[in-house]
Amino acid sequence: MPLSRLNEEQKNAATADLGYNLIIASAGTGKTSTIVARIAYLLKQGVKPEDILLLTFTNKASKEMIERIANYFDEKTVKQIEAGTFHSVSYRLLKKSGKKIVLKQPKELKILLKSIYEKRVFTHIDSKIRQYQYSYLYDIFSLYQNSSVENFSSWLCKKNPDQEPFLDIYEDIFNEFKELKNKFGYVGYNDLLINIIEESKQNKINFKEILVDEYQDTNSLQGRVIDSFECDSLFCVGDYDQSIYAFNGADINIIGSFKQRYKNAKIYTLNKNYRSTKQILSLANRVIKKNPRIYKKELIVTKEHKDIPPKLFVFEEVFEQYQQIAKKIKYSSSKNEDIAILFRNNSSADGMEATLRELGINCKRKGSISFFETKEIKSLLNIISLMINPKDIMAFVNIFEYAKGIGSVIGKEIFEALYKLGKGNTLKGLIQPDSEVKNPFGKKNQNYQLGLFDDFENLGSVARFRDMNFDEKFLSNPILKHPKISKEGALFIYSLYNFVKNSHNTKSPYKIITKLINSNLYHFIAQTISYQRATKKNRILDKELSEEIKQKIIQKAWILSNIAKNYHDIEKFLNALVLGSSEMTEGEGVNLLSIHASKGLEFKEVYIIDLMDGRFPNRKLMSQGGSLEEERRLFYVATTRAKELLYLSFAKYDRIKKIEYKHSIFLEEAGLIRA
């Protein structure tokens, strides 16, 4: 049993009585083992698996813990434990209550917000004060939702009184934003949490115990999610010094005030470090000591052997740094998988990766832009989004980017027309238009005063498409009367029509993607993308190259269809991608990670690179509400990832950006450089 492997303090925590328990677990003290053991203990005590809720920071973390528990219990039992991130658990619970949910990426919701924002006029009384740009406004609103229950205006006013003149406009924008999200059927990350709080108020969701990993990074909204379940037993595990998500509303006071907030709360502390060598730990502690303390911390080292001191490398130039690190890794005796390169900003990753490649070293990186963000995959996903949610105007307009002669304006007009023809369902409007509606383009007749004719000046004649071999039903769709649709545009709509007709009843994600890949619609899109990419600066299309690119595009599409094989429900498939796609990693070999992404992981050999003042600590962020304490915690997290070998490095000059750098202050605090 997992309990037998624990030390005394871990065992005490894992077998704590039901109630409000907070476990302060410093880096490397066996936090995961303790959670795993706790769950095993609960199951052994007869708690039903479906009454256990495990909340983790990433889906990967919960998967790993569940797998470890699966070593001791049968699969069926383990599978019933409700586990995942706050967001994915909320999604599943909402889904259980039968709601239809279509998740949207923040990036897309920002575009929606932008369209609302641009209709507003900001007048400046004082020319020095400017309104927030839409993107920042979105972020600040998201931060507000995550950290406060008061209304947005007063929250923002407290935070930045300068913005007072715009508060009413902001308020108005977000009201409309909410309306539109409703209208188009969009749900964002925060909405998941807000909705589950509402839901559990109405229908109480019961758990015997809720376990929360990385408790130091919960924010107020997440805290309210926990409280909304009104659970009598909590098992929260965290470390004050590893709180690194303040930008997302994470509030260390949540962990600090645990005792005040919960009756008869008990606090357990794990002090024995099993991960790192003495010298690595004392370096980490020297730095973190500069931060104010809430709980006392005395780490006890258990690893006495192989105590190699951490080493600092200083380079003249950034690129030289990457090269030398790559070289060092090449001749390292550690396996590539046991090595990690950590950095504060993702911008360090590209240069480092390229240099590693040059020496033939493989590396593993988060699959960020690489796969799901490419046009060929995004267009597929947009089409699928539209199939699930025919009200999805953004997916619709994005798809029509690939239709010649149809931009965002005409795209929207077509959408609105189909919306009318299908009584709220654009796909129905396309394949089975309401015959009552003769002219779906009604909006323009609001301009009587301007002397414009109602409707369009001239509805286009459908006769222009007579020679295109469209089927009769399609040809009779009033949508084709839009005067600005060209033959090519009509052909594109026809291919969408055919695809929808053939697959709107298909439920299996794999089948639907297969149909899509084989459709004219996708060929059209793949063709367009490949032409774009094969067209050089001199505007000449390289036919051979475009054919090659097209094949690659189709190959990628097949990869997506393979991923889809793991799902039976198309809606769940799509939402799972939104909830988890950023966690996917690509490749094998040396781990290339941002410090944020390295949370919870450990490696035998760790390199922390680009330790320059300005970059780390990130001065730009600190000026926007970040803090040196938070940056210091980041440094602490980074150093404590290392088990045996820790290397730190920086460069004095960046040739490309032409910036001279000083070393990071943390290197002084660590005693590696004299001030």
The residue from 86, 177, 396, 415 that contacts DNA (CB under 7 A) is 86
How many CA atoms, within 13 angstroms, populate the side-chain half-sphere of residue 60?
12
Given the rule CB under 7 A, which of 40-48, 106-114, 265-273, 310-318 is the region that contacts DNA? Answer: 106-114
User: Which residue's CB is nearer to DNA, number 19 or number 405?
Assistant: 405
The residue from 58, 321, 503, 649 that contacts DNA (CB under 7 A) is 58
Output the six-digit token pair for 204: 């109480």
The residue from 11, 63, 114, 604 that contacts DNA (CB under 7 A) is 114
For 338, other C-beta atoms within 10 Å of its C-beta total 18
Smallest distance, DNA to C-beta of residue 408, A: 5
Q: Is residue 446 involved in binding DNA (CB under 7 A)? A: no
The residue from 71, 80, 154, 624 that contacts DNA (CB under 7 A) is 624
Q: Is residue 583 involved in binding DNA (CB under 7 A)? A: yes
Q: Which residues contact 123 (CB under 8 A, 6 or more apart)?
A: none
User: Which residue's CB is nearer to DNA, number 37 or number 529?
Assistant: 529
Q: Is residue 185 involved in binding DNA (CB under 7 A)? A: no
The residue from 32, 345, 520, 527 that contacts DNA (CB under 7 A) is 345
Phi, psi of 651 (to 5 degrees): -125, 150
Smallest distance, DNA to C-beta of residue 475, A: 23
Binding residue count for DNA, defined by CB under 7 A: 43
User: Which residue's CB is nearer to DNA, number 86 or number 141?
Assistant: 86
Given the rule CB under 7 A, which of 27-35, 86-94, 154-162, 167-175 is the region that contacts DNA? Answer: 86-94
Strands (E), 77-207: 82-85
Given the rule CB under 7 A, which of 55-63, 203-211, 429-437, 463-471 is the region that contacts DNA? Answer: 55-63
How many degrees, rounded to 5, is the angle at CA 478 between CA 474 and CA 482?
A: 110
Q: Is residue 147 involved in binding DNA (CB under 7 A)? A: no
Q: Between β-strands 82-85 and 52-56, what pairing exists: parallel, antiparallel or unpaired?
A: parallel
H/E element, 594? strand 590-594
Determine contact, residues 280/636, Cβ cutoff 8 Å.
Answer: no
Q: Is residue 247 involved in binding DNA (CB under 7 A)? A: yes
For 74, other C-beta atoms within 10 Å of its C-beta total 8
Distances (CA, A) of 423 to 193, 255, 462: 31, 51, 23
User: Which residue's CB is nearer to DNA, number 52 or number 637?
Assistant: 637
Q: Determine the Cα–Cα distance for residues 51 and 460; give it in Å rounded to an integer.
A: 62
Determine contact, residues 438/478, Cβ cutoff 8 Å.
Answer: yes
Q: Determine the Cα–Cα distance for residues 346 and 349; give it in Å rounded to an integer.
A: 5
User: Which residue's CB is nearer to DNA, number 56 or number 336?
Assistant: 56
The residue from 20, 57, 177, 419 that contacts DNA (CB under 7 A) is 57
DSSP 250: B
User: Which residue's CB is nearer to DNA, number 48 or number 536?
Assistant: 536
Q: Determine the Cα–Cα distance for residues 494 and 402; give it in Å rounded to an integer.
A: 13
Phi, psi of 574 (to 5 degrees): -65, -45
Q: Is residue 620 involved in binding DNA (CB under 7 A)? A: yes
Q: Which residues contact 268 (CB under 8 A, 6 or more apart)?
A: 9, 12, 13, 16, 21, 22, 23, 24
Window 351-410: residues binding DNA (CB under 7 A): 366, 369, 373-374, 404-410
Q: Measured on CA atoms in the order 581, 583, 589, 592, is the torsion positive or negative?
A: positive
Q: List the x/- string, 250-289, binding to DNA by CB under 7 A.
A: ----------------------------------------
Q: Determine the Cα–Cα distance for residues 97 and 239; give it in Å rounded to an integer.
A: 35
**Minimal CA–CA distance to 515: which of 384, 375, 377, 382?**
384
The residue from 596, 604, 619, 652 that contacts DNA (CB under 7 A) is 596
Q: Is residue 195 involved in binding DNA (CB under 7 A)? A: no
Q: Measured on CA atoms in the order 318, 632, 145, 204, is the torsion positive or negative?
A: positive
Burial readout 487-522 (b: 16 or more C-beta within 10 A, e: otherwise): eebbbbbbbbbbbbbebeebebbbebbbbbbebebb
User: Which residue's CB is nearer to DNA, number 263 or number 537?
Assistant: 537
Smallest distance, DNA to C-beta of residue 327, A: 25
Given the rule CB under 7 A, which of 19-27, 161-169, 617-625, 658-666 is the region that contacts DNA? Answer: 617-625
The residue from 228, 508, 582, 585 that contacts DNA (CB under 7 A) is 582
Q: Is residue 483 involved in binding DNA (CB under 7 A)? A: no
Smallest distance, DNA to C-beta of residue 36, A: 20
User: Which residue's CB is nearer to DNA, number 305 or number 539?
Assistant: 539
Given the rule CB under 7 A, which of 171-179, 281-289, 431-439, 594-602 is the region that contacts DNA? Answer: 594-602
Given the rule CB under 7 A, which of 94-102, 155-163, 551-559, 621-629 is the region that contacts DNA? Answer: 621-629
Q: Is residue 119 involved in binding DNA (CB under 7 A)? A: no
Q: Is residue 248 involved in binding DNA (CB under 7 A)? A: yes
Smallest distance, DNA to C-beta of residue 518, A: 25
Q: Torsion angle of alpha carbons 138, 140, 146, 147, nearest 10°?
A: -160
Q: Is residue 135 involved in binding DNA (CB under 7 A)? A: yes
Smallest distance, DNA to C-beta of residue 569, A: 19
**Minimal CA–CA distance to 209: which of 177, 193, 176, 231?**
231
How many CA atoms, within 13 angstroms, populate the side-chain half-sphere of residue 34?
34
Smallest distance, DNA to C-beta of residue 193, A: 8
Return residues touching DNA (CB under 7 A): 57-59, 85-88, 106-107, 114, 135, 139, 189, 245, 247-248, 345-347, 366, 369, 373-374, 404-411, 539, 579, 582-583, 594, 596-597, 618, 620-621, 624, 626
